[in-house]
Amino acid sequence: MRSLRAIYWLLVCIFAVAALTAQQRPPDVPYVPTPHEVVREMLRVAQVGKEDVVYDLGCGDGRIVIAAVKDFGAKRGVGVDIDPERIRESNENARNAGVTDRVKFLQQDLFETEIRDATVVTLYLLPSINVRLRPKLFRELRPGSRIVSHDFDMCDECEGEGSETCIKGWHPDKVLRVRGPYREHTVYYWVIPAGVAGTWRWSVQTPRGERQYVLTLRQRFQKVMGTISVDGRESPIADARLVGTQLSFSTTRDMGGQKVTMRFSGRVNGDTITGTVEIQGGQFAGKRDWVAKRDKVNLVGTWQWKGGTLRIEQRKGELVAYIGNTPVSDFYAWGSGIYFTLDRAREEVYEGVVDGDQIVGTINGTARWEAQRK
């Protein structure tokens, strides 16, 4: 009798552990499938093709990754869902579609899933979940990776009800409206930008000798601002655009009484930009190559200012930040630039560029912020 009871309790324990493992915690978002016509537009706007590895975080019945490999020729698809029922459905749908060799479905929490090999990530979650996921997307995805979200953006604060202009947060690169079977859907599209903040230098040989260029950039997600100086004469840059690793900007200045416009474009690869400049007006009009190198900076350390202390550490090749012993969940490092939300309730956004042992930047885009390395 005692041994029967022991076997009974052993079985109860095994079932309890199996149930817990099967579904670690309740889903953050309920299951609602994306209509097939919206799936098609999501994959079309991301230009999914044969080089792509597509992840759907919260994959439901697997329709997005199945369509990515079957209809758009993606190399691989990975669907992640916390609900075992959804994973069963996804595997069955993949078998029916004949694509089991190119798709994989993982029953796990999307926040715990490594997504480093994704070139495209699709989402149909909720605004708050997208915002929570945002630093992970920046940490793990390579510049140029695309993200598409059905119906929900990545803004902390929008301009107004129904507006797509982010006052705080990550403004989408594109927004589409798609007619579904019952309503109009919205598709948001972003490209992970390269980290370009910092000071870039190069020189150009001219008949009048060598000219020194210094480009100083600040960055907020894909938005880039800054100045360029030629032989010490500084002017603001205009039309700056950063799409993945492709950077372009222009500057217009008066040179010897002539208006000269320089349109720069280049590809960012770590601390190097390689590109061409088109010069209009002046005696050097024409097209030339430029190669810029960024000044090396060290973000790691303890940074102190009147209102607080931020510690930046390197962990497994990634930069992580702490206020005291609490990790800063919404922290980004873009080249020499950092951006973080100190406290969501107080809605304080800190951004700045590291220059030697100093960070110079702003709080909420207006108040000046200066921190020193301790």
Show the CA angle centred on residue 114, arms to residues 113 and 117, nearest 5°: 135
Q: How many residues bind ligand SAM (CB under 6 A)?
A: 23
Closer residue to ligand SAM, CB minimum distance, 39 or 353: 39
State yes or no: residue 151 binds ligand SAM (CB under 6 A): no
Specify whether the CB–CB gap between 336 and 295 falls below 8 A.
yes
* DSSP result, 262-319: EEEEEEEETTEEEEEEEEESSTT-EEEEEEEEEPP----EEEEETTEEEEEEEETTEE
Task: Scan residues 22-81 and list those touching ligand SAM (CB under 6 A).
Answer: 27-29, 31-34, 56, 58-60, 63-64, 80-81
State yes or no: residue 219 binds ligand SAM (CB under 6 A): no
State yes or no: residue 118 binds ligand SAM (CB under 6 A): no
Show the CA angle centred on residue 146, arms to residues 109 and 189, nearest 5°: 95
Binding residue (CB under 6 A) for ligand SAM from 71, 104, 109, 203: 109
Residue pointed to by tokens 């759907």: 56
Q: Which of 130, 139, 111 has the alpha carbon at shortest distance from 24? A: 111
State yes or no: residue 152 binds ligand SAM (CB under 6 A): no
Task: Scan residues 5-24 and list those touching ligand SAM (CB under 6 A).
Answer: none
CA 119 to chain centre: 12
Q: Which of 34, 42, 26 has the alpha carbon at shortest distance from 60? A: 34
Q: Measured at CB, which residue is nearest to ligand SAM? A: 58
Span interacting with ligand SAM, options 88-96, 107-115, 189-197, 212-220, rule CB under 6 A: 107-115
State yes or no: residue 137 binds ligand SAM (CB under 6 A): no
What is the smallest separation between the CB atom of 32 and ligand SAM, expressed in angstroms? Answer: 4
Round to whole Å and give the CA distance between 51 and 37: 23
Closer residue to ligand SAM, CB minimum distance, 66 or 342: 66
Contacting residues toward ligand SAM, per CB under 6 A: 27-29, 31-34, 56, 58-60, 63-64, 80-83, 86, 109-111, 124, 150
